[in-house]
Amino acid sequence: MVASIPYNPWINCCTPNPRAQLRLFCFPYAGGNAAIFRDWHRELPSTLEVCPVELPGRSSRMREPLPRDMPSLIEALGEGLRPYVDRPYVLFGHSFGALVAFEFARYCRDRYDRQPHCLLVSGRQAPHFPDPSPIHALPEEEFIQELKRLNGTPQEILENSDMMQLLVPILRGDLEIDETYEIKAEPPLEIPIAAFGGDRDPEASKIQLQAWSQHGKNDFSLQMFPGDHFFINTERSLLLQALSQKLRNVGKTE
């Protein structure tokens, strides 16, 4: 049985589940925060404790500096989550969050006694693909047009200048880390990897998602859903059903 998580700035919107056998750490997409995963526990097995990860510079951590680069973010994550990987756990990330989850899985392999049981990645091409069309440095008007194209920012936020003034620096910062990322040569992970994608996602094709198989020695699976880059929102119930099937028996033997 997994003990409930005490307060930690890295974990937000966590609904304690003392009966859980497995922790599911969830990493948000660029510009996102832990609230994306607030209600996921309602549609996932009672054997899970959903632990949404709150990155610095947003939401409850708005006063903290934004992450500067991937290495420093992963080091900070490693220290922040160290007390909570003492029990079985898995990692899920969407888009930018998938890349963070991947690098954190590598960190866990090298620095913790306990690796995640599996890595779940969604809506991002495999990490060895360079970004073909970076947008983080675009002028403001072009940048906002790209946000509209991706269809992940609600119209009411796009039309609210005060909210956009807060959101745009967070988005640019996350996207800069994502779009300038260069993978370091390391051995493949020795845990299962499962990838998920939208069949109309211009950011991550089926071929690019399938290439995640190169980064693990264990089982790999790919599942596609109807939708664009933000199928994680529009097809949430289908995605959570798939995650439930993947995770129902994970960690029960420990």
Residue 6: predicted pLDDT: 63
* Average pLDDT over every residue of 188-201: 96
Q: What is the DSSP letter of 66?
A: P
CA distances from 59 to 9, 204, 234 (A): 11, 27, 23
Phi first, then psi: what are they for 198, rounded to 5°?
-95, 135
* Average pLDDT over every residue of 209-231: 95
* Average pLDDT over every residue of 53-57: 97
* Average pLDDT over every residue of 217-237: 94
* Ordered domains of the chain (ranges, CATH): 22-130+185-247 (3.40.50.1820)
Q: Which residues contact 180 (CB under 8 A, 6 or more apart)?
A: 134, 136
Instruction: For the chain, give the mean pLDDT.
Output: 92
Cβ of 201: how many Cβ atoms within 10 Å?
A: 24
Question: What is the C-alpha to C-alpha distance for residues 74 and 56, in angstroms, rounded to an integer?
Answer: 12
Residue 4: predicted pLDDT: 53
Q: Which of 229, 197, 243 is nearest to 24 (CA)?
A: 243
Question: What is the C-alpha to C-alpha distance for residues 221 and 213, in angstroms, rounded to an integer?
Answer: 8
Q: Is the pLDDT of residue 251 over 60?
A: no
Where residue 1 falls among pLDDT bands split at 50, 70, 90? very low
Amino acid identity for residue 71 in this structure: P
Phi first, then psi: what are they for 27, rounded to 5°?
-110, 125
Q: Is the pLDDT of residue 198 over 90?
A: yes
- Catalytic status, residue 60: no
Residue 252: predicted pLDDT: 55
pLDDT digits (tens, 9 = 90+) for 145-175: 999 888 888 888 988 989 999 999 999 999 9
Q: Is the pLDDT of residue 83 over 90?
A: no
* Average pLDDT over every residue of 199-214: 96
Query: Which among 95, 122, 205, 244 is annotated as catalytic?
Result: 95
* Helix ranges restricted to H, 41-196: 70-81, 96-111, 140-150, 155-158, 161-179
Q: Check: pTM over 0.85? Answer yes or no.
A: yes
Residue 5: predicted pLDDT: 56
